[in-house]
A = this chain, B = another copy of it.
Amino acid sequence: MKKSSEIAPGWIAVDWGTTHLRVWAMSGDGVILDHKTSDAGMASLSKDEFEGALLRVISEWLSELKITPVVSCGMVGSRQGWVEAPYQVVPCEPLKNAKFAVAATRDPRIKFYVVPGIKQDSPADVMRGEETQIAGLLAQEPDFDGVACLPGTHTKWVRISAGEVVHFSTYLTGELFSLLSSKSVLRHSIAQNGWDTTAFKGAIDDAITKPSAIAGRLFSLRSEALISELSPETARARLSGYLIGLELGAARQYWLGQKVVIIGEEKISDAYYDALNAQGWAPVKYDAELMTLAGISSAYLKIRL
């Protein structure tokens, strides 16, 4: 690979979320020339700090001789971000270019685009970032008809048909797991790593078949550790199983009888795969970063047209 200062990208792809900034130097025909990450997430920046934070990671790639398009997705387009990219409303094709926002920049070497998120009025719901991964999926499978599960801090279930997002639903499952396993009294009984697949699947079943009982199961992860030496790894898998199981129960209309794909990072995608598999489903897994990049690339093609 060339040194960063020798790279001359045709355009730059950016995934700018709450806690991270990821950038890719791309050739005009879609080859990744270089890749960098930074912890300058949107939540840590005020309005006038975004351009500087971006230039710190991409300036080596820029040329005085031209304007390099920079195409971004994620929370950078929220009201608290750099420039607000208005939401599209379901049903809609993800990344409609009419809705791209452009940030005012001081540096003449870049033009900074942000793709629109998607909102749903009833039931109220919003996404920023996932629409790009769905655009990536549709770029690879234009005829996809089914459901995408995008597990993470805020897991999304998205019904897709005829190239459009039809409706979707968001679950706090990842954030709940993180808070309960690291901030609640359960943290004393839960391993930060490790797993127990049997316990996970059992907890999934418990939560799907008796969701009303789960509120009473959470504290048992602490009690059983005190009384009957529940292992921290098993407790971790059971907590995850209870929470994902509750989500699967609530999202049943999304996956039951549908073609399902999972777009996420490897570990969490595997957990959702196992959970759905135990219910008799065999979803196809896609890598989240690849789908993000495929989606931003499809956005760039629309800009270039």
Contacts and interface: CB of A to CB of B under 8 A. Distances in A.
Interface of A: 119-121, 123-126, 154, 169-173, 175-176, 179-180, 183-186, 211-216, 218-220, 222-224, 226-228, 230, 243, 246-247, 249-252
A42 B251 CA distance: 42
B179 A227 contact: no
A154 B220 contact: no
A228 B247 CA distance: 24
B215 A171 contact: yes
A211 to B, nearest CB: 4
A119 B224 CA distance: 11
Contact of A219 (B125, B228, B243): B125
A172 B218 contact: yes
- What 6 pairs across the A-B complex have the smallest Cβ distances? A124-B223, A170-B219, A215-B250, A216-B250, A211-B212, A212-B249
Given A172-B215, A211-B212, A216-B251, 12 more contacts: A119-B223, A124-B220, A126-B222, A154-B219, A171-B215, A171-B218, A171-B219, A176-B218, A179-B183, A183-B183, A215-B247, A216-B247
Contacts of A223: 119-120, 123-126, 170
A206 to B, nearest CB: 12
Given A126-B226, A223-B124, A185 B214 contact: no
Contacts of A218: 171-172, 176
